[in-house]
Amino acid sequence: MSFRDVIKKSVIEGFSAADMPTGQMVAILIVAFAAGLYIFCIYRLINKTSLYNRSFHVSVAMMSVITAGIVVAMQSSIVISLGMVGALSIVRFRTAIKDALDLLFLFWSIGEGIICGAGLFELAAVLAFVVTAGILLFEFIPVFKKPYVLVVNSSDTDAEEEILSAVKEHSGFFRVKSRNLKKTGLDMIIEVSTKNERELLQKLTSIDSVENTALLTHEGEMRF
């Protein structure tokens, strides 16, 4: 037997899903669906966006099942395998991923589908456990302090020093992001880190020239 025949035989024998029992195929899809349902629940727990995108949520859950089916089909024939590679290579997804965490869940779901399609159920379970532990660890253990955006409107154009003095007294860190000086007054936007939000606002409103104050949160994180 020549070297070419050995390579040809090994390649052909590698595509063994054609002889895979129907029960085993169904079991793979069921396990992939269970993995997708698990990812669905974790995504629902972690997701904190104001607008809930149910279509993306369902897509993340079912991606593992679809991927598992594709992997099983690609194992059945080298012709199907090459056809799948060619078909998938021309697919272009136009949906923009606005949150990096959404991208993580997409890759997780696809990875679970590939692993389940290969029949490595133990690895799929271990991967789910490790990824969940990592997400929860970084989600519930704060790495940086929670930032606030403070908006102050004053009727006195010379009140900046008094305002910053009050902010410094009730915050661990602050940075002036914007100043808007008008003939009728002064508007300031300040990024602050504080644990006494109410005391800070009360201190600022006690200044005679301050007309309005607002303390807002944003999605970023403040580094020190």
Q: What angle do CA 118, 123, 124 make, to 5 degrees?
A: 75
pLDDT at residue 222, rounded to an integer: 45
Phi-psi region of 35 (alpha: psi -120 to 50; beta: other; left: phi over 0): alpha
User: 224 in a domain, yes or no?
Assistant: no
Does one domain contain both 29 and 123? yes
**Residue 223 within any structural domain of the chain:** no
Does 210 share its domain with 124? no
**Do residue 76 and residue 153 come from a single domain?**
no
- Residue 190's domain is classified under what CATH number? 3.30.70.1710
Cα separation, 106 vs 39, whole angstroms: 10
pLDDT grade, residue 10 (50/70/90)?
A: low
Confidence of residue 14 (pLDDT cuts 50, 70, 90): low
Residue-number span of the structural domain to which 170 is assigned? 148-217
pTM, rounded to two decimals: 0.60
Residue 168 CA to residue 196 CA, distance in Å, equals 12
Q: How many domains does the chain have?
A: 2
User: Is residue 177 located within the same domain as residue 155?
Assistant: yes
Say which residue, 187 or 87, is predicted with more confidence. 187
**Other CB atoms closer than 10 Å to residue 108's CB: what's the count?**
23
Is 222 part of any domain?
Answer: no
Same-domain check for residues 135 and 42? yes
Contact 47, 8 (CB under 8 A): no
Same-domain check for residues 111 and 213: no
pLDDT surpassing 50 at residue 93: yes
Q: Is 68 inside a domain boundary?
A: yes
Structure tokens at 122: 């133990």
Of 140, 172, 200, the domain-final residue: 140
CA distances to 105, 113, 127, 139 from 133, rounded to whole Å, are: 14, 20, 10, 10
Strand order of the β-sheet with 148-154 is 173-182, 185-193, 148-154, 210-217
Kindly write down the DSSP assignment for every residue of 108-170, as one continuous string. Answer: HHHHHHHHHHTT-HHHHHHHHHHHHHHHHHHHHS-SSBPPEEEEEEES-TT-HHHHHHHHHHT
